[in-house]
Amino acid sequence: MTTESSAISVAPARPSAERVAVPILAAISVSHLLNDLMQSLLPAIYPILKSSFHLDFGQIGLLTLTFQCTASLLQPLVGTFTDRRPQPFSLVVGMGFTLVGLLTLSRAGSYPMLLLAAALIGMGSSVFHPESSRVARLASGGRLGLAQSVFQVGGNMGSALGPLLAAFIVVPFGQPSIAWFSAVALLAMVILSAVGRWYRAKLADLRARPRGAEKGSSVPRKRVVVSIAILMLLIFSKDFYVASFTNYFTFYMISKFQVSVQDAQIYLFVFLGALAVGTVLGGPVGDRIGRRYVIWISILGVLPFTLALPFANLFWTLVLSVIIGVVIASAFSAILVYATELVPGRVGMIAGLFFGLSFGMAGLGAAALGQLADMTSIATVYKVCSFLPAIGLLAYFLPKIEQKHF
């Protein structure tokens, strides 16, 4: 491994001699799939709830706000607490909140009960993400980017499957059928119980080791704060742009190219598939060449393609959407691992902060871009958003951190 004279040294989080705990990494990824599958059910059934409860769009927005507040704002608090007092079985407890939330949602007979269900489902997410990120890190064997990518791709798959299952189960069978998904929560709880036992043993092993083997970051505190702020702006750039696709790409394709609804859904599915591929690739590439370079490439590197997209024909729109999806999706794993290396020993707090921010930016982006589309046009959304990756220029100011190459 070469060392740059300007690099700021940060010790590897785990000794490289350790092996990746593949079964645990697979279990936490599957659990992420099941968790995000259930989390995505709520927005997927908004049309049913709107019709059944005669809700207006303001009330739908309040449901989203309630979910996002508990899912986003609580995550850094949960992460900070578990950094100080790790809770091996808190993942099971968090999944229990989701289970109760789903059952409440299936039986809700009033709007306040819907709000309660949304809050409980969000609380489940706020507990799951910080602690599961810590487990993925512990199971990484030092290959932090790989572990985070495997963990992340489970969530991507779950988010894609949730609306699909809602269409085939909840739409034909109605609100009570949401209770059937409690079986998914129970399965996740069983898996996470096994993960919790491994986690408890791992913590005991870590406590038994001599202290002083690992060094903290030598990055000055002020620079750490500035770097975290830059990373948060990069998350804003990424998630606002991705929100334009996940929420409005089908409308864009129908409006600009007059494709059918079915074809537009296929184009969206292709983009979501590209996101999954990019998520898988981003972590291992970051392990090899360094997280800072992946951040540069994934945010700023996508700029030429986003700028070209609004002026492309149908064929090149599809090609560009795939390139954009693969490149931009590699950012999150790299950003999260890089941030945990900047702030050693605060994995839960950092994971909670960035997961919560990502959730919040996705929701805020959907609302803001919807308003922009109403005031202008759907095509304007993509012209405006095309400049967002230019925020990637800020990555220049991130400190150079020595990375372990594999």
For 217-406, CATH gives: 1.20.1250.20
Sign of CA dihedral 159, 161, 166, 167: positive
Residue 37 near residue 161 (C-beta atoms within 8 A) = yes
Q: Number of C-alpha atoms within 13 angstroms, CB side, residue 357?
A: 21
Helix (H) or strand (E) holding 196: helix 182-208
The Cα 108–Cα 175 span in angstroms is: 9
CB atoms within 10 A of CB 332: 29
pLDDT for residue 210:
64
The amino acid sitting at 251 is: F
Find out whether 69 and 193 touch, Cβ atoms under 8 Å: no
Q: Which pLDDT does position 133 carry in this prediction?
A: 85
**Look-up: residue for tokens 């993942």?**
91
| 400, 6 contact by CB (below 8 A) | yes
Distance, CA of 229 to CA of 32 (rounded, Å): 27
Among candidate residues 351, 248, 231, the one with its CA nearest the CA of residue 295: 231
**How high is the pLDDT of residue 184?**
93
d(CA 206, CA 76): 24
The domain made up of 19-207 has a fold known as Growth Hormone; Chain: A; (1.20.1250)
In order of 24, 130, 269, the CA distances from 40 in angstroms are 24, 18, 16
What are the sequence ranges of the domains in the chain?
A: 19-207, 217-406
Low-confidence ranges of the chain (pLDDT < 70): 1-18, 57, 210-218, 402-406
pLDDT of residue 323: 96
What span, in angstroms and rounded, lies between the C-alpha atoms of 126 and 348? 11
- Residue 227 pLDDT: 94
The predicted structure's pLDDT at residue 2? 37
How far apart CA 239 and CA 244 sit, in angstroms, is 9
Q: Give the DSSP letter of residue 69.
A: I
- Would the CATH topology of 19-207 be identical to that of 217-406? yes
